[in-house]
Structure 1
Amino acid sequence: MPVATYSLVALDCSEPESLARFYADVLGGKVEQYADNWYDLYAPGGVRLAFQRAPGYRPPDWPQAGANSQQAHLDFDVDDIEQAQEQVLALGATPLDLDDADGERGFRVYADPAGHPFCLCRRR
């Protein structure tokens, strides 16, 4: 018997509402304000992401290095990685590692507008 059930992933940031809306544009779903410094995204499929204001927030370094290294990242499956890439870039994502020209690796890495890394992964 498990000890707990999954609830959410919370991302620190300086602008929780705008980051929640970025991910709502990427994943779909509904953004709700929980508190002054906290927003939830209820995405399709029962996934919940939360965004909390963190005073002095600094985005993680990419690639992983030093004291401010990446602590976590999100993966999103897509059917058409080229089309998905165009869309996330238009929404404000920054490319970090697009070294998948031959299609063998199966993923590309981006940063959201607050600097958190995420991957678009070819659906298998």
Structure 2
Amino acid sequence: MPIATIRTLVLDCPDPHALAGFYAELLGGEVVGAADAHWVDLRVDHVKRLSFQRVPGYVPPEWPSTSRSQQLHLDLDVDDMRVREKEVLALGATPLDLEDDGGKRDFRVYADPVGHPFCLIRPE
């Protein structure tokens, strides 16, 4: 039996409602919390919860970097890399590493609007 279970994964950010909206468009789900709240939750069917907290003076991670490491990232399965890449870029994601090694590599790396890295991955 595990010692604990995950309640939520929390992402620091300058605007919790805006970042929760980005992830709601990306993953689906419902944003719970006021637009000016310091803490906002995203309720997604297949995940317990993602939460977003306002941090004054937020400094985004750098990828790749040893001085301001990413600290965590999300790996997200997608059905069609080309289509989904266009969609995440339209949502405001920033490409960090799009190299696919001639079609051999099954993932690409992006940053959300406040700099948290995430990967789109073709399922096996």
* Structure 1 and Structure 2 fold alike (TM over 0.5): yes
Gaps of 5+ in 1: none
What does 1:4-19 align with in structure 2 at a 5 Å threshold?
4-19=4-19
Counterpart of 2:71 in 1: which secondary structure?
coil
Q: After the TM superposition, list the runs of 4 or more consecutive aligned residues in structure 1 that deviate by more than 2 angstroms.
A: none
Gaps of 5+ in 2: none
- Quick one: percent identity of the two aligned structures? 57
Q: Contact (CA 8 Å) 1:31, 1:41: kept in 2 or not?
A: yes
Deviation at 1:65, TM superposition (A): 2.3
Q: Contact (CA 8 Å) 2:17, 2:37: kept in 1 or not?
A: no
The answer for the alignment partner of 1:84 in structure 2 is: 84
Q: Contact (CA 8 Å) 2:38, 2:54: kept in 1 or not?
A: yes
The answer for the alignment partner of 1:105 in structure 2 is: 105
Deviation at 1:101, TM superposition (A): 4.9
Cα distance in 2 for partners of 1:33, 1:15 equals 12
Between the two proteins, the alignment pairs up a number of residues equal to 123
**TM-score normalised to the size of structure 2?**
0.94
Alignment RMSD, CA only? 1.4
Distance of aligned partners of 1:101 and 1:87 in 2 relative to their CA distance in 1, 3 Å threshold: farther
